[in-house]
A and B are shown apart, each in its own frame.
Chain A
């Protein structure tokens, strides 16, 4: 447990101290959301209708962009070999790193999402549902992304490849997350969507570290 927390804290510290990586992800997320009104026009009704989807798609892209820092730096400087040699099972090490990734990307995205929702004119009733959905769904983004990041370690063009590999896997969180916002606005109730979103995250929680560790072992030997 101490090793698990130690690795978690180390990754957190690295992300926070290495000059604004969190800021970059947030900046990208904000800019991506703010581009949409320029693209589709400023009519409030239109923006209100698509606001949930815009924010979810932007969150997905921001998560994909941040995936390369999950394992790549440790792989390049050999730290990953030491992590694999440590007595802590590689599955738990992967989970610790994925959790640190979520705390530095998914969580900040969730926190600023109400502010961005105002920019794209989301109905106030939808804002808590959007934030709750992101809170439930972004861990799944980090967990599934961990698999893709580990699989593409050492590839020739990891950036493009990782998005091709991971975006199809991100469809269920996207559908349920933006579906929840939509359902809360039409009065259907977002409860079922949020439950399914939680189910996706809960299913990914034990399975994704297994797949990630298997992929990391292949990258290392």
Chain B
């Protein structure tokens, strides 16, 4: 199963076919979700129209954490099985996850201004999302910090795993430290406490965010693979005359191929 999908050529074929469908589905679902949540869903009886920020903020927050878990899982697969695509997937997903985290922080800040009267408070949930953002940045910086691409990829994979072990500890310690943010109101025992008229567009937006993520992930993975192919072509020429070009190059370059 794993090795079946380890072939980059097959991945390029399958993802090339899937890409437009992901893009179209993301655009359609997000269009429906945006109209529904921004125009049709009722305003909150306390918060008024500004509650509509929630329809961007909450799915972005969900995605920020899920994408980090995905990066960590892909890193584990890359470390254990040396799976070439898992590594590419982790590297491709991290900047998207960081972007979702930034969207979550920015919309949260815009929402906090009218609701709490301040752009930023050092509340537990805000702080842990901020820390998550820095974990993303650390991962991205580490992956790109080496001249040797493989070294960067493996160091990044390890850091993602260390981060995922630390995330609950950080979350727990920050929770203890301070809390103002409202507790979770969608996923909890005894059913959601949010009105159905708001929950449905929220879920549509969440699905739209996931599709958008899938589309961006495939796009970025394909770009990374194409970049590597272009790099290899630049170094060794077309596949047909690769051998003679490689022999003409220095022994060092052949060893690296």
Contact = CB atoms under 8 A, between A and B. Distances in A.
Interface residues of A, number: 28
B162 A168 contact: no
Contact of A218 (B145, B147, B151, B163): B151
Contacts of B148: 154
Scoring A147, A152, A156, A169 by chain B CB atoms within 10 A of each residue's CB, the highest score goes to A169
A36 to B, nearest CB: 19
Instruction: Say what secondary structure dominates the interface of chain A.
Output: helix
B8 interface: no
Given A211-B162, A214-B158, A218-B158, A175 B173 contact: yes
Nearest to A200: B169
Contact of A169 (B137, B141, B146, B166): B166
A176 to B, nearest CB: 7
20 contacts: A147-B158, A147-B162, A151-B158, A154-B146, A155-B155, A161-B141, A164-B137, A165-B142, A168-B131, A168-B135, A168-B166, A171-B174, A175-B177, A176-B173, A179-B176, A200-B169, A214-B158, A215-B155, A215-B158, A219-B151
Interface of B: 131, 134-135, 137-138, 141-142, 145-148, 151, 154-155, 158-159, 161-163, 165-166, 169-170, 173-174, 176-177
A172 B176 CA distance: 10
B145 A168 contact: no
B145 A156 contact: yes
From B148, B159, B163, residue with most partner A Cβ within 10 Å: B159
Contacts of A176: 173
A176 B135 CA distance: 20
Nearest to A219: B151
B142 A151 contact: yes
Interface string A146-158: 0100011011111
Nearest to B137: A164
Contacts of A169: 162-163, 166, 170
A46 interface: no
